[in-house]
Amino acid sequence: MVRKLLFLTVLFSFLFSSCQQKKDRVVAQVYSHKLYASEVQKQLPSGMPTDDSLAFATRFIDSWISDQLLLAEAEKALSMRDKQFQKEMSEYRNSLIRSKYMEKITADTNSFYVTDEEVRATIAQARTNFVNEKEIVRLNYVKVSAKSPVKEKVKEILFDEEKRLLEKEKLTELCADSIEYFVDDDTWLFWDDIQLEVDIDLQISAGTFNQPQYIEKTSGESCYLIVILDYKSEQTGADSRDYFESVRTMLIQKKKNEYINQKLDELYLKAEKAGKIAR
């Protein structure tokens, strides 16, 4: 316990005074691999209280150490042939490039602005009644091809609460290879809307939900990975506002998807006209 307290004290000193230090400090080392205070600092969410930041940093360091130990053992145990990942690395690189390009061409938020009137019209068209009791959830949702090369990696991060928080950016990058995804932790959605996509029985009831629920279901050629973060069985006025904003978010994403598809059509026609496509 004394060593643990001493470690936390030193860690606190490194993390929160490093901006005044010229030399970056090593906060952990596994064999020849070193983790620096600046790397941990970059992972800390802004605005988090000091005690929570310290706990978050400690978990990050523990996770990093575990990863390095596992990698070191894997390097020794696997043959050179086992470690040939050119195809997988190429696919992952391509998915990252696609993701970055789509982020770039949809970066102008003004181009995809959704007015309150558009949101109301969408809600009215769906005949949604805010006063009815409905199941609403906060969730992370990823739909991938059942044969997707990134499915297991997405699941590994998504279904681990600590990794899901620490590796949110990496998860989003991996989702570039998904069919659909929604990884917003703060938005409430109607569970009925999720079931329109795939029929999944929600095995929770009012007053009993106290931890994330993980759901994996394969339907046809698609695999659905869902983490239920929170659940409510009825709506309050505040929840209605949350739903209103969630509809806006979905409409913004819909506009972005339509723009991306339009861009793909333009690229296809341009390449076809230039004789760059052969069948």
* pLDDT tens sequence across 188-241: 877 777 776 666 665 655 555 667 888 888 888 888 888 888 887 655 444 567
87 φ/ψ sector (left φ>0, alpha ψ -120 to 50, else beta): alpha
Rg of the chain over CA atoms, in angstroms?
23
Residue 177 within a domain: yes
Q: What is the pLDDT of residues 34-90, one digit of tens each?
A: 999 899 988 888 777 888 888 888 899 999 999 999 999 998 898 888 888 888 888
| Same structural domain, 102 and 190 | yes
| Same structural domain, 121 and 257 | yes
| Same structural domain, 23 and 122 | no
**Domain end marker among 49, 77, 105:** 77
- Cβ-based neighbour number of residue 52 at 10 Å: 12
The total number of residues written for the chain in this structure: 279
| Same structural domain, 13 and 125 | no
pLDDT at 3: 44
Residue 86 within a domain: no
| Same structural domain, 141 and 40 | no
List all residues 6 or more positions away from 186 whose beta carbon is below 8 Å from its beta carbon.
138
pLDDT (mean) for 234-252: 71
pLDDT (mean) for 94-111: 90
Residue 215 within a domain: yes
Determine how β-strand 180-182 pairs with β-strand 188-190: unpaired
Nearest CA to 232 among 203, 207, 254, 259?
207
Range of the domain at 58: 2-77
Residue with tokens 């932790």: 185
Domains of the chain: total: 2
| Same structural domain, 168 and 229 | yes
- Crossing angle for the helix pair 237-273 and 86-105, to the nearest 10 degrees: 110
Q: What is the mean pLDDT of the chain?
A: 80
Q: What is the pLDDT of residues 87-100, one digit of tens each?
A: 888 888 888 898 89
